[in-house]
Structure 1
Amino acid sequence: MITPALHDAAARLLADILEGPGAADARMDRFFRAQPRLGQRERGVIAEAVYGSLRHHRLLCAFAQTAEPRRVIAAWLVAFEGCAQRELEVLGVAHPEALIAAARGDRASYPFAVSASLPDWLAMRLAAELPAGERSAAAAALLEPAPLDIRANTLKTDRTALQQAFAQAGHDLSPTPLSPWGLRRASRASLFRTLEFAAGHFEVQDEGSQLIAPLLEPRRGERIVDYCAGAGGKTLHLSALLTNRGMLYAFDTSQKRLDRLRERAARAGCDNIRIQTLDADHDNRLKRLYGKIDRVLVDAPCSGTGTVRRSPDIKWRLAEDRVAVLAGQARAILNHAARLVRPGGRLVYATCSLLREENEDVITDFLAEHGDYTPIDAHEILTRRGIALPSQAADAGHALRLWPHRHGTDGFFAQVLQRG
């Protein structure tokens, strides 16, 4: 049961996340560092209340008839934790009977955007993306906490051996249904303190993300570029698929993210990665590689709307006009990266966005300007790699479209393009 002190702390943290810049996890880390007397259990109670309130924030505000953080947290306690009137009174919640009546009433009576806890503009965009019969299921899936997915590092182990090692240590993980490298844990309990992590036997990576690198079908001895490598989740997967052979370039404009990649690559035993920080604008140093790269991955910076199960604060931090800006940046990045691909080479464009503006629309514009590129069916590639997905949705075309309610993964888009 949450105490008055923890209730107040959760309300302060919720307000800090909603009002301040930066991602929720980073702000939560700073909050807890400033509260060293909080124990692990207390931190868990606060984190659960805050993340639950972020997921369902709009609906909770409707229950509470206010966005005041203490009352929003109280609404979450009633609606999702079964908190009774007496318990609310102990917490000092005013008019608890009204809050309980609202939170236990008919949620179907609210508009879709409210019951789905989405901003109006995002609810409209998602409704336009999906058949009417799927919208409720999609909204419900986006409100569910994501499981913990990891990818076995095949440079050091395999999935079966890794699962057995975790089982012996008392950690219950099951094979992911789509990725042949993945293991899933229903709870979000950390595995970072395990011997397997220290030995570099796995990386935390959503199952959907694990399906992107195989689309390049990398071959030993080839030259491959991860153009927006970031902290390197897909770079490390590519290195494992190449069995440490060939030349793998990891580019990004963020030195901080690439430093993180260096740490991860050393732990994973990846020896074939060449890391380079690019200028924010187009980097002329890349000209020496124009037309010489066998395969290029562009995991473009995007809205992250496919990851709201993990980062529900995205819904409230993302402004509608920001999507157009991100789509424009993605177009520019894709155009620059395309220059690297040799004739006959492959280019893969990917995002963790659910929005057509950042996905299909970017590809449509790219193909209109680059007649030497042809789309390739992503599902056929994955089938060749032994990855069987459910039947392809009619609206996906040649692209890979992953949805939480259809595939149990984060939301992803990927288009494979072959240069003539």
Structure 2
Amino acid sequence: MRLPGRLSAAIEVLADMEARKRPVSEALKAWGLNNRFAGSGDRAGIGNMVYDVLRRRASHAWAMGSDDPRALVLSVAVREWGETPEGLNAAFEGDNFAPAPITAEEATRLTAHDPLAGAPDAVKADIPDWAGPSLAYLGDWVAEGRAMTERPPVDLRVNTLKATSDKVRKALSRFTPADTFAANGLRMFAGGKDARTPNVQSDEGYIKGWFEVQDLGSQAVATLAGARPGEQVLDLCAGGGGKTLAMAADMGNKGQIFAYDSDRSRLAPIYDRLKRNGVRNVQVRAPEPGALDDLAGKIDRVLIDAPCTGTGTWRRRPDTKWKLSSEQIATRLGEQAALLVEGATYVKAGGHLVYVTCSLLADENRNQIERFLAEHADFKAVSGEGLWNEAFGEAVGTPYFGPEGGVTLTPHRTGTDGFYVCVMRRG
């Protein structure tokens, strides 16, 4: 497919999302199934265009005076992909799959010198109107929002149970992986326009368990959780096991991790991942009545990777940015508060409770911790800044260190997805 056809396809996918109210991944998959002539390069290009639209939907809509899929796609093609109205119209001519020619009014908007003149800060930040005040504690929340509109990199965590960073770097040399501030992290930066994302999961090294795909922020909070060899650890919301695997490697397969999740379907992938990674110190506990009763008051470290709004992952899942409702937030807040209370019951004296979210909202993070600590005098927060400096050094990034003891990572501050972690010790 040529560019005109890809633009038309992106417009079609966005219109389908709007009409059917379905996630971007489902809409792209449906388009691919209905248009099997499209090659992998075509699908990558169309997907990139759709995601670029969703990441900066507000600012492109403001610039074009319309949030119609056509207007948004044309705006991305010109402002982000470097096309021109004249060049696009020349390409559209005689192409049966091309959009309609660009009008004079569209061309004027596409070439405006200051397309965001007079725009509210939320539009400049490309976040929902309500989100600005919720991010204000971070400082320059417009810059925070704009950082979440960038294409994310592909981050890897080297599995030290099976490989070394040098071994993985050599195996993936064709992708030129770069080092990160995490000792066992590697990063492949995103390309522009229709660049394909490296398919590392088909690589021999991945199949052999040498590495896992895991955002650098997720790696960092797993490190800050502080699991040590020989400890008894409970991963209370283990899901697919990403942080379970990271902690198992940090523990050198020594000690015991109990991996639990209340949802069987979320927990299902962990079994194959444990085997592939060579992990031997994890016991999976299925969600049965009384499944964790024997652990009460006996655990050195309880990790709560709490269900949350996912606002920290907006650069990877930009469609969710525009759908989040106050009802969804309220539901998550209730779940998080309950998990903190439950998790505390498993922590032994002198043990640690570790609370993690992939959210940037204060209500889900520092406010939850402040409320919990006020109601549980036997727990005290460990200095997040101290933990960070010990793990990564003072010169690495500029996370936000909250007064309650938490650490907040963001795309703007640390070049990672947005994550929050707070470690609390039981007296």
Q: Which residue of 2 aligns with 1:52?
A: 52
Judge conservation of contact 1:245–1:272 (CA < 8 Å) in 2.
Answer: yes
Is 1:214 the equivalent of 2:220? no
Aligned residue among 344, 368, 375 for 2:381: 375
User: What residue identity is the alignment partner of 1:145?
Assistant: R
**Equivalent residue number for residue 329 of structure 2:** 323
SS in 2 for 1:119: coil
Q: CA deviation at 1:365?
A: 1.1
Aligned pair in 2 of structure 1 residues 405, 338: CA closer, same or farther (>3 Å)? same
For residues 420 and 161 of structure 2, the distance between their equivalents in structure 1, rounded to whole angstroms, comes to 27
Deviation at 1:415, TM superposition (A): 0.5
Q: Identity of paired residues, percent? A: 34
**Distance in 2 (alpha carbons) for counterparts of 1:241 and 1:23:** 35
Query: Would you say the 8 A contact 1:75–1:99 is kept in 2?
Result: no
Residue identity matched to 2:386 = E
- Say whether the 8 Å CA contact 1:231–1:261 is kept in structure 2: yes
Which residue pairs with 2:410 in the alignment?
Answer: 403
CA distance in 1, matches of 2:147, 2:392: 27
Question: 2:29 is aligned with what amino acid?
Answer: D
In the other structure, the counterpart of 2:115 is 107
Asked if 1:174 is matched to 2:182, the reply is no
Q: Structure 2 vs 1, CA of residues 272 and 247 (structure 1 numbering), >3 Å: closer, same or farther?
A: same
Alpha-carbon contact 1:144-1:309 (below 8 Å) kept: yes
Q: Does residue 183 of the first structure (1) align with residue 186 of the second (2)? A: yes
Given that residues 306 and 339 in structure 2 are in contact (C-alpha distance below 8 angstroms), is that contact kept between their aligned partners in structure 1? yes
- The 5 A counterparts of 1:19-418 are 19-20=19-20, 23-89=23-89, 90=92, 91-93=98-100, 96-105=103-112, 106-109=114-117, 110-126=119-135, 128-131=136-139, 134-167=140-173, 170-176=174-180, 178-187=181-190, 188-278=197-287, 283-388=289-394, 389-390=396-397, 393=400, 395=402, 397-418=404-425
Structure 1 unaligned segments of length 5 or more: list them: none
How much has 1:125 moved relative to structure 2?
A: 2.1
Deviation string, structure 1 residues 323-380 (Cα, Å, up to 9, x no partner): 1221111111111111111111111001010100000111111112111111001232
CA contact (8 A) 1:85 1:96 kept: no
Give the conservation status (yes or no) of the 8 Å contact 2:85–2:102. no
Task: Output the CA distance in 1 between the equivalents of 2:219 and 2:412.
Answer: 18
Equivalent residue of 1:284, what SS? coil
Read off the aligned partner of 1:173 and give its amino acid letter.
P
The alpha carbon displacement at 1:157 in A equals 1.1
Change (3 A) 1:30 1:342: farther
Unaligned runs of 5+ in 2: 93-97, 191-196
CA RMSD of aligned residues (A): 2.1
Q: Do the aligned residues in 1 keep the contact of 2:178 with 2:187 (CA within 8 Å)? A: yes
Q: Distance in 1 between matches of 2:253 and 2:68?
A: 53
Cα distance in structure 1, aligned partners of 2:183 and 2:418: 19
